[in-house]
Structure 1
Amino acid sequence: MQDTEKQMENEQPIHVDGETAAVATEPTPEDKLAAAELKAAELQDAFLRAKADAENVRRRAQEDIGRAHKFAIEGFAESLLAVKDSLEMALKIETPSVEALKEGVDMTLKQLSSAFEKNKLLEINPQAGDKLDPMKHQAISTVPAEQEANTVVAVLQKGYTISDRLLRPALVTVAQAK
């Protein structure tokens, strides 16, 4: 009983609307510990959930990348099927004329060019007199010419870019310094 009396002496009465209400007691260390443990458990649970969510996002992204790699060439391959079909039909003709073969090859080249364009595979075909661009051209040799030094004289092989990335440089001969 003495403990209760001492506790009541330490407690401050709370006044509500002019009346004295129940006395608020300060939380004990045990209460504080229990509250901290509860908060720690909640934070641990939130952390584990966030970690699991992040792992799921990472796994899904990795699967998406795998699918993208697997099927990235699908559109390009699909556009090349018409080219293959045209070539096979040309080989089935028993007695082709030169004109028919030329017309067939021209149509097949147009199909191939269309497939390249559709899939952002673009030609690098510099013109004579263009300045040598080492990022797009590979100089095979230098030749005496009546034009400015380090300019393209002739294209030996076209180059190609795919989605603005160099796939193969154009092989060129370049004018040498006079």
Structure 2
Amino acid sequence: MNDNEHDYHDEAEEIRAETAAGAPELAEHDRVGELEKALEEANSKALYAAAEQQNTRRRLEKEMADAKTYASAGFARDMLAIKDNIERALAAVTDELRADQTAANFLAGIEATARELESVFARNGVERVASKGLPLDPHRHQAMIEIPSDEEPGTIIEEMQAGYVLKDRLLRPALVGVAKKP
């Protein structure tokens, strides 16, 4: 730095010092502006934190409600196997066996158990998935075979195993046979 530049630099410092001393309101105005900006940033951060907290609370409330609603899904899925076995047992009973009084009493007990199980499912929101005669819905049905038929291709014409939902959630898809062109 040469002497001229040095003198110029010193003069600029003196002017700044005089201006700050002579106009404290300007320095104060700058300070107020900085404080307002800092306050605005703090308010913005507080609003963001409050919104984030509210979103977290809502998400947790929904998760708790879902957990309560679908807590029995595993149990209901396990009970479906029992229901299937009861239905298979009843389907295998011949007319001859139904005519026998001892067997008829035994079958009446099994049928009552099947009705009670169906009633328990209904009270707890477990419903059978409609399938026969409907178009294949991959969210509710699982196509196992294609069967040549005069029906519209993709229409369910046979149900091999019933599907079930708990409220609106699929427990088990229906295993079905769908129509195809002959």
Q: TM-score category by the smaller chain? A: 0.5 to 0.7
CA 145–103 in structure 1, closer or farther in 2 if over 3 Å, else same: same
The structure-2 alpha-carbon separation of the partners of 1:134 and 1:112, relative to structure 1 and needing over 3 Å to count, comes to: closer
Which of 164, 170, 175 lines up with 1:171 in the alignment?
175
Runs of 5+ unmatched residues, structure 1:
1-27, 88-95
| AA matched with 1:174 | V
Task: Say what the alpha-carbon RMSD is for the aligned residues.
Answer: 3.7
Correspondence list, 1:138-177, <5 A: 138-160=142-164, 168-177=172-181
Preserved contact between residue 140 and residue 174 of structure 2 (Cα < 8 Å): yes
SS at match of 1:131: coil
Seq. identity, %: 20
The structure-2 alpha-carbon separation of the partners of 1:29 and 1:161, relative to structure 1 and needing over 3 Å to count, comes to: farther
* Matches of 1:99 and 1:163, distance apart in 2: 30
Measured in 1, the distance between the counterparts of 2:117 and 2:173 equals 24
8 Å CA contact retained: 1:151, 1:174: yes
- In 1, Cα distance between equivalents of 2:140 and 2:160: 14
Q: 1:40 aligns with which of 30, 34, 39?
A: 34
8 Å contact from structure 1 (residues 141, 173) kept in 2 = yes
1:84-163 pair list within 5 angstroms: 97-116=106-125, 123-128=128-133, 130-160=134-164
For 2:145, the aligned partner's letter is: S
For 2:28 and 2:71, locate their aligned partners in 1 and report how far apart those are by CA, in whole Å: 65
1:164/1:113 CA distance change after superposition, 3 Å: closer
Give 3-state SS (helix, strand or coil) of 2:124's partner.
helix
Structure 1 residue identity aligned to 2:109: A
Deviation at 1:111, TM superposition (A): 2.0
TM superposition outliers: structure 1 runs of 4+ over 6 Å: none
Deviations 1:8-42 (CA, angstroms, capped at 9, x unpaired): xxxxxxxxxxxxxxxxxxxx754223112112202
Q: Distance in 1 between matches of 2:131 and 2:151?
A: 15
Assess if the C-alpha contact under 8 Å between 2:150 and 2:181 holds in 1. no
Please report the TM-score for the alignment, with normalisation by the length of structure 2: 0.54
Q: Which has the higher contact order (CA 8 A, sep 6+)?
A: 2
Corresponding pairs, count: 134
Secondary structure of 2:146 counterpart: strand
Instruction: Pick closer, same or farther for the CA change 1:165–1:100 going to 2, 3 Å.
Output: closer
| Contact 1:125-1:155 at 8 Å conserved across structures | no
Aligned partners of 2:129 and 2:162 also within 8 Å: yes
